[in-house]
Amino acid sequence: MNEQEQTWVLQARHGDRTAFSRLVEAYQRPVFNLTYRMLGDVEEAEDAAQEAFLRAYSRLGQYDPALKFSTWLFSIANHHCIDQLRKRRMTQISIDDNPVLQNLEGNDPRPERHTLQQEARIEVQSMLDRLTPEYRTPLVLRYWEDLSYEEIAEAMQVTVATVKSRLFRARQQLAAIYQEQEPVTPPPLQRSPSPTRQPERSRERPTMLRMALAAL
């Protein structure tokens, strides 16, 4: 946290709403990214992010300045998302929906490649949805928010060793899920190859998904 953010936190702790608004502007994107990866639904993620900031504002008196504000904020957002996931199970709402991601990388790729990248991200999200929160949270904080093991441990209120163990198990589970979804390629027929070129999507899609997973 830079000096400007430290000033905003200090001012917000003394009741300055404008200063807290600056903190919201600074962290709204990473907090939304966390809630979206945890919940897998854009509208729910927006509501969860808003609730996280409301809870953070009401609990500013409990904030320990010795901790990074972002870590403390992620902890609040993460606990709220876990509560929401528990409510889903209680009301028997499926967590396997795969909404289209709203925040895609820029650089204006070719339309067909853009579609492939989008599909890969959706599939990665669907695989994340199959992980329990204890494994999903460290993955999101480590590989999407770039937090250190120590920061993740603080946000999840566990030890660094536990974080590393859960990350290892989460990667194993994702790999297993990916293997389950990998299409089985039938053996080639003994005949002359067709002059028709194989569609680019069928050849590239598994590769794009592997690229998305490679970031883990």
- To the question of pTM greater than 0.85 for the whole model, the response is no
Average pLDDT over the chain reads 76
Which carries the bigger pLDDT value, residue 160 or residue 110? Answer: 160
Q: What CATH code is assigned to 1-99?
A: 1.10.1740.10
Q: How distant, in Å, are the alpha carbons of 30, 68, 81, 131 from that of 74?
A: 9, 10, 10, 19
CB distance 201 to 116 below 8 Å: yes
pLDDT above 80 for 93: no
Which carries the bigger pLDDT value, residue 187 or residue 208? Answer: 187
Categorize the per-residue pLDDT at 121 as very low, low, confident or very high, splitting at 50, 70 and 90: low
Query: pLDDT tens across 31-83, in order?
Result: 999 999 999 889 999 999 999 999 999 999 899 888 889 999 999 999 999 98
The answer to which of 113-127, 163-177, 192-206 has the lowest mean pLDDT is 192-206
Q: Where are the domains of the chain?
A: 1-99, 107-181+200-216
Which range of 38-47, 113-122, 190-199 scores highest in mean pLDDT? It is 38-47
Same fold? 1-99, 107-181+200-216: no
Tell me which architecture the domain covering 107-181+200-216 has in CATH: Orthogonal Bundle (1.10)
Provide mean pLDDT across the span 122-146. 85
Which carries the bigger pLDDT value, residue 79 or residue 4? Answer: 79
SS3 per residue for the chain: CCHHHHHHHHHHHCCCHHHHHHHHHHHHHHHHHHHHHHHCCHHHHHHHHHHHHHHHHHCHHHCCCCCCHHHHHHHHHHHHHHHHHHHHHHCCCCCCCCCCCCCCCCCCCCHHHHHHHHHHHHHHHHHHHCCCHHHHHHHHHHHCCCCCHHHHHHHHCCCHHHHHHHHHHHHHHHHHHHHHHCCCCCCCCCCCCCCCCCCHHHHHHHHHHHHHHHCC
**Which residue type, as a one-letter code, is found at position 195?**
P
Q: φ, ψ for residue 19 (rounded to 5)?
A: -65, -40
